[in-house]
Amino acid sequence: MEIKMPLINACNVRKVYGDGQGESTTALDDFNLVVMEKEFVSIIGPSGCGKSTFLLLVAGLEPVTSGDLLLDGQSVNGPDPGHAIVFQEYLLFPWRTVWKNIEFGPEVRGVSKKRRAEIVSRYIKLVGLEGVEGRYPHELSGGMKQRVAIARALANEPKVILMDEPFGSLDALTRENMQVELLRIWQENRCTVIFVTHSIEEAVFLSDRLVVMDAHPGRVKKIFPIPFARPRKREIISSAGFVALAAGVKGLILEEEGYQQNKSIQGKEGE
Amino acid sequence: MKRGNVISPVALFGIWELVGKLELVDPLFLPAPTAILAEAWSLARSGELFVHIGVSLYRVGMGYGMGALVGVSLGILMGWSKRLEEYLDPLIEMIRPISPLALLPLMILWFGMGDGSKVIIIFKASLFPVLLNTIAGVKGVDVKLIQAAQTLGANPGQVFRKVVLPASLPTIVTGLRISTALAMLAIVGVEMLAAESGLGYLLVEAEHVFDTPKMFVGLLVLGGLGYLWDRLARVAQNRILVWHKETTLEGKV
């Protein structure tokens, strides 16, 4: 087994949203997390616990208020093609075809046209979009749009890919299908993934480690290592070990939470 | 063309012709369509009609072209820079409500009776819909779409060219289309008030000599030009906005 190096190192990270004049919300406080190279880490927690905020910080779309956030030993300083993000709303460019959407990253980075064509066709194949290259986003189903978004992020060959509830708006069957697909893609294309989700089952199924967060302020509550061997099959979700682990995670999230938050977690999980 | 598009004009002209032929109404007030066509033919053969059309189109083209150019470029700047918008907005809201025709006396004083004053007025009429739509279009671009582009490595210039511009294009095109109609309205008004040529002048000249068929020819040409112009604009719009067409109501009809 190869030796893994830490890729992301969050140390005492604090993020406060506010106008600087009294009105402020602490999204993250004393947040510590180390993510290893090529690791698949999921983050789960009640709404408003700052899990999406953490992704925005790593993506460089929001600055940290205090503390250290290192990517590959360097402070995150603004958006960078090395850390790609995939959003729940896909955010494809509607005026670009599937092909041109995936090409966007290499294109703005000045990759030659010939090389671009190789990259795009490789990722189109990887995410299974052959035959729809010329279509526009509005002609695609939700699952296909998310495949395009994933391929578009991968086309920059990022060190880390940040996924903010990427399957949150898909129907249950497509969602299961996309989880299996994501694992296959990740297996073939090992990069680091930080995956934010509301679904315990999804998180346990996908991850090497599962980070459970506390809200108000957002910080890491507990980290579960997920021991199941890879490549994983969908069937493992009904195995005794999986069920017990998921129940443990659920119990942890539910304890110490107010009634309101219990309700919201259970509601979300039913998706 | 769909059959439904033909029925209403054909029926109208049929009844109209009947009324004219039976002289149910004095031809001075309502000449028969055939009489109007005869007039149009003679105006066309003498070349007079085309001179007027050409002059009007030239003025509209110049004024509209300038309005579109200034409207789009200024609109992009104002949509992009909050500060510039704050500076210019009061000025724009003061000039905008002034009727283009109200500017005519002053423009004639400044630019004389020639094409200059007319072009300026068409410019004024076309500028604001383009300007306001462009501002709204640029400001309405989804911030998350911009963030997506930034995380993919786009620099500010690329974000602008490859995201902000295409994302605001549908709204800009809408402004450009609204302005074509306003420019056509303004040119007729201006030419009726102060011109020696153009389609507006043709109408006034016909009125002076009670040449009713000629008035109708003027109106028909204006209607026809407007119609053609709109068709052309639609084709252009659908070409440019292929991706947008089918996500909107227009594409579903």
Distance CA A129, CA A122 (A): 10
Q: What is the pLDDT of residue A258?
A: 53
A165, A210 in Cβ contact below 8 A?
Answer: no
What distances in angstroms separate CA A211 from CA A75, A182, A220, B3, one per listed residue? 22, 19, 7, 65
Average pLDDT over residues A2-30: 84
- Nearest beta carbon to residue B150 from set A79, A95, A137: A79
Q: What is the pLDDT of residue B252?
A: 44
B225, B53 in Cβ contact below 8 A?
Answer: yes
Quick check: B161 contacting A, CB < 8 Å?
Answer: no
Q: What is the pLDDT of residues A79-123, one digit of tens each?
A: 988 889 999 899 999 999 999 999 999 999 999 999 999 999 999
* A chain contacts of residue B162, beta-carbon cutoff 8 Å: 93, 104, 108
Q: In chain A, where are the structural domains located? A: 1-77+196-271
A47, A53 in Cβ contact below 8 A?
Answer: no
pTM of the full structure: 0.81
* Chain A interface disruption, residue of B141, B142, B151, most A CBs within 10 A: B151
Higher pLDDT among residues A54 and B233, named by residue = A54
- Nearest beta carbon to residue A108 from set B142, B152, B242: B152
- B113: its two tokens: 């009776």
Q: State whether A108 and B162 contact (CB < 8 Å).
A: yes
Phi, psi of A15 (to 5 degrees): -130, 120
**Residue A222: strand pairing partners:** A212
Compute chain B's Rg from CA coordinates. Answer: 22
Distance CA A93, CA A100 (A): 9
Amino acid at site A97: T
What distances in angstroms separate CA B83 from CA B69, B130, B177, one per listed residue? 21, 20, 28
pLDDT over 90, % of chain A? 63
Domain boundaries B50-252, corresponding CATH code: 1.10.3720.10
CA distance B151 to chain A (A): 5
Q: State whether B153 and A108 contact (CB < 8 Å).
A: yes
How many CB atoms are closer than 10 A to CB A65?
Answer: 17
H/E stretch holding A163 reads: strand A160-164
Comparing C-alpha atoms, which of A199, A245, A211 is closest to residue A41?
A: A211
* A chain contacts of residue B153, beta-carbon cutoff 8 Å: 79-81, 105, 108-109, 156
Q: What is the pLDDT of residue B183?
A: 93
Q: What is the pLDDT of residue B8?
A: 85
- Nearest beta carbon to residue A138 from set B152, B154, B246: B246
CA distance B136 to chain A (A): 18
Comparing C-alpha atoms, which of B104, B105, B108 is closest to residue B121?
A: B104
Second CATH level (architecture) for the domain A1-77+196-271? 3-Layer(aba) Sandwich (3.40)
Average pLDDT over residues A58-75: 92
Identify the sign of the CA torsion B146, B152, B155, B157.
Answer: negative
What distances in angstroms separate CA A228 from CA A77, A96, A207, A209, A237, one per listed residue? 35, 40, 9, 11, 10
A246, A212 in Cβ contact below 8 A?
Answer: no
Which strands, in side-by-side order, build the sheet including A24-36? A24-36, A6-18, A66-71, A74-75
Quick check: A105 contacting B, CB < 8 Å?
Answer: yes
ipTM reported for the complex, 2 dp: 0.84
How many CB atoms are closer than 10 A to CB B129?
Answer: 23
**Residue A225: strand pairing partners:** A209
What pLDDT band is residue A264 in, cutting at 50, 70 and 90? low
Q: How many CA atoms lie within 13 A of B227 on its CB side?
A: 7
Our CA angle for A8, A9, A11, nearest 5°, is 155
Higher pLDDT among residues A92 and A270, named by residue = A92
Comparing C-alpha atoms, which of A158, A265, A269, A177 is closest to residue A215?
A: A265
Helix (H, G, I), strand (E, B) or coil at A63: coil
Distance CA B87, CA B77 (A): 12
Distance CA B162, CA B150 (A): 11
Phi, psi of A72 (to 5 degrees): 60, 35
Cis peptide before A217 (omega within 30 of 0): yes
Q: In chain B, where are the structural domains located? A: 50-252
Instruction: Determine which of A48-52, A138-142, B158-162 has the lowest per-residue pLDDT on average.
Output: A48-52
Indicate if the pLDDT at residue A271 is higher than 50.
no
- B61: its two tokens: 């083209």
Indicate if the pLDDT at residue A127 is higher than 70.
yes
A220, A253 in Cβ contact below 8 A?
Answer: no
> Mean pLDDT of successive 10-residue segments in chain B (253 residues)?
75 88 85 90 92 94 96 94 92 92 92 91 96 95 93 94 94 91 92 91 92 93 89 85 66 43
Average pLDDT over residues A44-51: 86
Secondary structure of B134-202 in HEC code, one letter for each residue? HHHHHHCCCHHHHHHHHHCCCCHHHHHHHHHHHHHHHHHHHHHHHHHHHHHHHHHHHHHHCCCCCHHHH
Distance CA B166, CA B185 (A): 30
